[in-house]
Amino acid sequence: MSSFDFSQWPPKFTDIQLTNLVQHATTYALAHGLAYLPAIPSQPPAPSSVTHAPISLLPAPVPRALFRKAQRLQSIYNDLYARVATDDDFLDQVMGAEVGVGQADEFVRRLWKGWKEIREEGIVQPLHLGLFRSDYLLHTGDGHALGLKQVEFNTISSSFGPLSEKVSAMHRYLYALTNYYHGSPHLKPENFPPNDTISGLVNGLAEAHKAYGVPSAYILFVVQPDERNVFDQRWLEYELLEKHGIRVVHRTFLELATTTSLSGPSRTLLLTVPSNSIPIEISTIYFRAGYAPTDLPTETHWTVRLTLERSHAIKCPSIPLQLAGGKKVQETLSQPGVVERFFTTLESSVAASATAELRETWMPMWALDAENLPTLPTSFPDVERNPGEPLGTTFARRHAENLVLKPQREGGGNNVYKGNIPAFLEALPAEERMAWIAMALIVPPAGIGSYLARAVSGAGGAGQNKEDEERPKLVCVETISELGIFGWALFGKDEGTGVVRKERGDVGWLMRTKGVESDEGGVAAGFSVLDSVVLVDG
């Protein structure tokens, strides 16, 4: 186990110290764009007010060796998922509508069928761009030393990198201003790891733009309507323009329905904009929307999504790369011998080392429709099969308290946990089991806490006291923190292997913290706050 005592975190502060920290943190956040648009329906098109993003007053402790391990692994994960995304046969088998998850999941089915049609008519852009994030929790289970376990690997809309950089800077500011009132010997500058996520992610976008080869082209950000998390995107836009001279345009799917066209045999993506007399050319499409069925509710939305995919612009992600991020792919890779097939072109010792390191980060996983299960820890004893039910479903039912069920979804709020699993399985149609996986729960260190600050909405709704409008709400609760490591890859097929063309392993990181009573972890979904890291020994 780690020599650091997690149960003694956070250090204690007086009420006046906490009041001062909240004041300094929230004003810093507002002054430095660590902000959201408020949830006010009457907000005009040009925003006139903001609220600070949900934040932690203190960084979360992470053992130094495990943090470095997560950073080192990112390059391996970038390479792996580039190979997965360029293996058509594998994705057809795992995610397809004929034999894979697409049989049971309408959203996956439509993505896969659209991609299949585009393959048949001819793909005009062989390059893919991935802005990735691999998410981890610290794990204390199985009687071993404190370890690092992967929650998931994100291939679409891997958000909060820019705001994570801002909250890291905020924590350094609070230290410089107050020395955190000498509350902990761990809170010192050398234990605050650098976080340059904005430039790291932007370098990936800029490399795609450069590979496209038209300097005057724009990068298109596809965004959700009424997006509150706009500043996380704007910081990328500003860096692209200021450091690389690349311009960005933001559009929703519906806005694109009437303003885009494909030109010529190469299917150049052109976009009409009110400020230009001629259409602008798009080099790269960065999807901050399109990861959930609610993003594509009509045929018009789907038509736009597939039009973008057909174009010559480099997609971030392409449909196959989006499919590669499916939970079923994560589960399939954990099966014996599967991940090894993607590293056959590497030197054997390199492939063996990479495979071993990846497998160390995976919890046991299986499909609900599985008849053969992985080797499970002793906390998962064998159970008698229910007649007429797949073994994977029976195991999930009997061991529900140690599990989470995951569908093929991103964005938070989609999983089913512990005590809710048996009733969910009773209601789940048999034909939909294929779309779900079971994963053993990661067991983070117990007793750790933090101070979490959220802004109270200033919308003036019923039951809200006027004096509470926009007042920060601070709570000190027991918490769980989730570490995300960012990386990028620009890649295409190389004799069918999908070897990465250009990639950058660790380009920054994100820490999200939530109360232990919350199973889900999304910031935008309202479960977590943005945090940073303090490195500890042990």
The reply, when asked if residue 482 is annotated as ligand binding, is yes
The reply, when asked if residue 504 is annotated as ligand binding, is no
The reply, when asked if residue 78 is annotated as ligand binding, is no
DSSP characters over 462-492: TT--GGGTT-EEEEEEEEEEEEEEEEEEEE-
Angle CA 456–462–464, to nearest 5 = 35
360 CB neighbour count, 10 Å cutoff: 13
The reply, when asked if residue 152 is annotated as ligand binding, is yes
The reply, when asked if residue 517 is annotated as ligand binding, is no
The reply, when asked if residue 438 is annotated as ligand binding, is no
b/e map 96-111, b = 16+ CB within 10 Å: bbeebbbbbbebbbbb
pLDDT at 430: 95
pLDDT at 381: 85
The reply, when asked if residue 360 is annotated as ligand binding, is no
504 CB neighbour count, 10 Å cutoff: 19
Q: Is 411 a catalytic residue?
A: yes
Judged by DSSP in three states, 64 sits in helix
The reply, when asked if residue 267 is annotated as ligand binding, is no
pLDDT at 517: 83
Candidate list 305, 410, 481, 508, residue with the active-site label:
410
pLDDT by residue for the chain (538 residues), tens only, comes to 458 999 999 999 999 999 999 999 999 999 999 999 987 665 556 777 899 999 999 999 999 999 999 999 999 999 999 999 999 999 999 999 999 999 999 999 999 999 999 999 999 999 999 999 999 999 997 777 899 999 999 999 999 999 999 999 999 999 999 999 999 999 999 999 999 999 999 999 999 999 999 999 999 999 999 899 999 999 999 999 999 999 999 999 999 999 999 999 999 999 999 988 899 999 999 999 999 999 999 999 999 999 999 999 999 999 999 999 999 999 999 999 999 999 988 889 989 999 999 999 999 999 999 998 888 888 788 888 888 899 999 999 999 999 999 999 987 789 999 999 999 999 999 999 999 999 999 999 999 999 999 876 543 333 344 444 445 589 999 999 999 999 999 999 875 555 667 888 889 999 999 998 876 555 554 568 999 999 999 7
The reply, when asked if residue 116 is annotated as ligand binding, is no
Distance between CA atoms of 289 and 271, rounded to whole angstroms?
18
The reply, when asked if residue 246 is annotated as ligand binding, is no
Q: Which residues on adjacent β-strands are paired with residue 515? A: 479
Contacts of 307 (CB under 8 A, 6+ apart): 260, 262
Return the closest-CA partner of residue 148 out of 359, 446, 366, 407: 359
Check: CB of residue 387 under 8 Å from CB of residue 378: no
The reply, when asked if residue 434 is annotated as ligand binding, is no
Candidate list 109, 149, 493, 512, residue with the active-site label:
512
Q: Is 133 a catalytic residue?
A: yes
Candidate list 83, 327, 398, 493, residue with the active-site label:
327
Distance between CA atoms of 39 and 228, rounded to whole angstroms?
7
Return the closest-CA partner of residue 207 out of 237, 244, 234: 244
Q: Is 64 a catalytic residue?
A: no
DSSP characters over 69-115: HHHHHHHHHHHHHHHHHT-HHHHHHHH-SSSSGGGT-HHHHHHHHHH
pLDDT at 329: 98
Q: Is 195 a catalytic residue?
A: no
Contacts of 348 (CB under 8 A, 6+ apart): none
Q: Which residues on adjacent β-strands are paired with residue 248? A: 219
The reply, when asked if residue 317 is annotated as ligand binding, is no
Candidate list 2, 56, 154, 318, residue with the active-site label:
154
Candidate list 56, 78, 134, 159, residue with the active-site label:
159
The reply, when asked if residue 417 is annotated as ligand binding, is yes
**Number of residues assigned to the chain:** 538
The reply, when asked if residue 157 is annotated as ligand binding, is yes
The label of the residue with tokens 């999930």 reads 396
The reply, when asked if residue 289 is annotated as ligand binding, is yes
Candidate list 130, 152, 309, 315, residue with the active-site label:
152
Which token pair is 483?
């570490």
The label of the residue with tokens 């497998």 reads 359
Candidate list 406, 433, 493, 504, residue with the active-site label:
406
pLDDT at 47: 77
The reply, when asked if residue 512 is annotated as ligand binding, is yes
Contacts of 466 (CB under 8 A, 6+ apart): 460
The reply, when asked if residue 228 is annotated as ligand binding, is yes
The reply, when asked if residue 70 is annotated as ligand binding, is no
Q: Is 152 a catalytic residue?
A: yes
Candidate list 183, 411, 515, 538, residue with the active-site label:
411
Q: Is 159 a catalytic residue?
A: yes
Return the closest-CA partner of residue 520 out of 483, 480, 476: 480
What domains are defined for the chain?
6-95+124-359+457-536 (no CATH), 365-440 (3.30.1490.50)
Judged by DSSP in three states, 346 sits in coil
